[in-house]
A and B are shown apart, each in its own frame.
Chain A
Amino acid sequence: MAEAAAEDDAVAAIPADPDSAAKQAALTSRITGSLARRMIAIAALWISVLLIGGGFALDRVLTGAITRNFDSSLEYVLIAMIRSSEIGPDGEVRLIEPLGDQRFLEPYSGLYWQISGGSQEPYRSRSLWERSLKAPTPHIDDEIHTYDSTQFPDEELRVLERNVLLPGSKVSWRYQIAQSREALDLQVGAVRATLIPSLALLGIGLIILAALQTFYGLWPLRHIRRAIAAMRGGHHRRVIAPLPLEVQPMVEELNALLAHNEKQAEEARLHAGNLAHALKTPLTVLVNSATSSNSELAETVRREAATMQRQVDHHLARARAVGRRGAAQARAVVWDSANSVARAVAALYPDARLDASGDKSLIARVERQDLDELIGNLLENAAKYGGGSVFVTIQRDGDMAEILVEDDGTGISPADRDRVIDRGVRLDSGKPGTGLGLAIVRDVAEIYGGSIALEESEDLGGLLVRLRLPAG
């Protein structure tokens, strides 16, 4: 999981890369986003909403219960107060027996009572000392009224009050009992101190679980990505990994598409090849018939037949290579190809001496037939136009396979090097050939992501052709 997360981070980090293709990929990534990130974000959103909503409800219920409990103990005192009241001889109210709680006697203890009514100075607990409780609104009923009061600047009060008509008195007495909210607030605070971290922890746990679920659930997608990468890397021709039910049809479609593409490319190549080969025998007949005559018509036929041959050769070579471009798994051992082609060139050019050295196990990501074609053209050029010695060096340069073909001919001046690669230009028109060798080599090499460069051979003094192809 951690590895997958790191991979995602790597994707997100790409915009720093100066390469424009990478920028493009990063842009696409920003627009479409990561599926995993999106799913985790949604999970985090609903988990947060539910937990916050649930937390508020739970808080209300718990706080309500605590407050009711607090109030009912005050109410009990209030009723005890009313029960033990009587009217004195002067019409004043008094308590027959003192209320049990010691806090009513200590000044500013936080628990107070007061009875007010008539013209009498309010009768109040010792704890109130010189203060008195206000009676803000008159009540017409005799229900118990409960409210919070901030009349004392240093402490917030919870107040219960009730109007009472005592026997033997016409005055409606207001009984009030008040307690500092501090104890209540401490209880509520203690509940919240447990509730909020618990819910937060629960939320984090749920989000982590959602992330795990997402990564595990998306595993097949990463697996497909790796399988496709392995295929592009040339290790397999198809995506062959066993995958879950939901993904398998997609993979099967992908494989079918690959097979279809390969088949079409193969057919197109076959047709191009057949057409080109079918043209060659009639061309031979035409050329040979024209050779036996010296008329202007014969000259035209010879010239045009040569052009046709050039075209056929060129497009045949391209068709071969383009058709194989899709085959990402193409692999060939460079040494084997160079060796067998050198053998063929040596047989065709008995005066040339060919030799090779270098890495015998180096692999190029090129179809064997195309590699034969590339090396064959270079060796033939060297054998035909060089001084007789041809030397092939095979080496790895980073992630490229390098094939150096040197000869001891006169070489090609730097000014002519670009021109000679271009189609149809030949510097030595005295020898037979279509002059297309290097153009074909360049085209085919570029199709595979390689290149050719013309240089001067230090050891042999002639031309050095540096063919670079992606190494396997």
Chain B
Amino acid sequence: MRILIVEDEPTLGPQLKATLEGAGYAVDLATDGEDGHFLGSTENYDAAILDLGLPEIDGLTVLDRWRREKRNFPVLVLTARDSWSDKVAGLDAGADDYLAKPFQTEELIARLRALIRRAAGNASSELIAGDVRLDTRSGRVTLAGEPVKLTAQEYKLLSYLLHHKGKVVSRTELIEHIYDQDFDRDSNTIEVFVTRIRKKLGADIITTIRGLGYQLDDPQG
């Protein structure tokens, strides 16, 4: 994995480079915007760490240029400017993550790993049943265009049923896919979740198949 660091601060840059190299990455360090932009445009990186306050060209401009040139490697923005307005500006310019100074290197590395992992796959898609739409990328659920409030568990259950639309799914199967291994599993809670989803999305959305489990299908007629 090859990482580009664009950081002008004379101590922090080499410190980051050393830490990331210690974590097993190949690292290039650029100390101004011009240099950083050139490296990002010409070399192939798996991710970049970009400081926003840079001499020559500022970080947001560098990011914007990369994105125009279709350089799509994930970029983690590093900045002392941590107001939400700044974060919004950075993320809207095409950053994938935003880390405010001061930060701890463990957090930086953890986020970098997650960023690379996320960039690797994860195609987005929308699941639809009647008026109900679920966007797996944003986690947005709408009923006839209006957003619906769902808890994380309700969402997971709905998402699983939508992924297996038309199939009868047993309680055991649902429990296995909704809870992680350590969770104290109680099959009665599934019934509670189904009731709540029916309350929020309409009673017909999930059909109970006696003795077998639950089924979600496009409404008939």
Q: Which residues of A contact B (CB under 8 A)?
A: 276-278, 280-281, 283-289, 291, 305, 309, 313, 320, 340-341, 343-344, 346-348, 350, 352-357, 368-369, 372-373, 375-377, 387-389, 391, 406, 408, 432, 459-462
Contact = CB atoms under 8 A, between A and B. Distances in A.
A31 to B, nearest CB: 46
B84 A373 contact: yes
Contacts of B200: 459
B176 interface: no
A320 B84 CA distance: 12
Interface string B92-113: 1001111011111111000000
Contacts of A276: 80
B114 interface: yes
Contacts, number: 129
Interface stretch (B41-49, B57-65, B142-150, B183-191): B142-150
Contacts of B148: 355
A460 B101 contact: no
Given A281-B12, A341-B84, A368-B85, A459 B102 contact: no
Q: Per DSSP, are chain B's interface residues mostly helix, strand or loop, or mixed?
A: mixed
B98 A288 contact: no
A372 B83 contact: yes
Interface of B: 9, 11-12, 15-16, 19, 53, 80-85, 87-88, 91-92, 95-98, 100-107, 114, 118, 138-141, 146-155, 200
B54 to A, nearest CB: 12
A357 B15 contact: no
Nearest to B138: A346
B155 A343 contact: no
7 contacts: A288-B12, A288-B15, A343-B88, A376-B87, A389-B151, A389-B154, A391-B149
Nearest to B84: A376
Contact of B91 (A277, A344, A355, A406): A344
A411 to B, nearest CB: 12
Contacts of B87: 344, 348, 376
Contacts of B53: 277
Nearest to B96: A347
- Nearest first, the 3 closest Cβ-Cβ pairs linking A and B are A353-B139, A376-B84, A388-B152
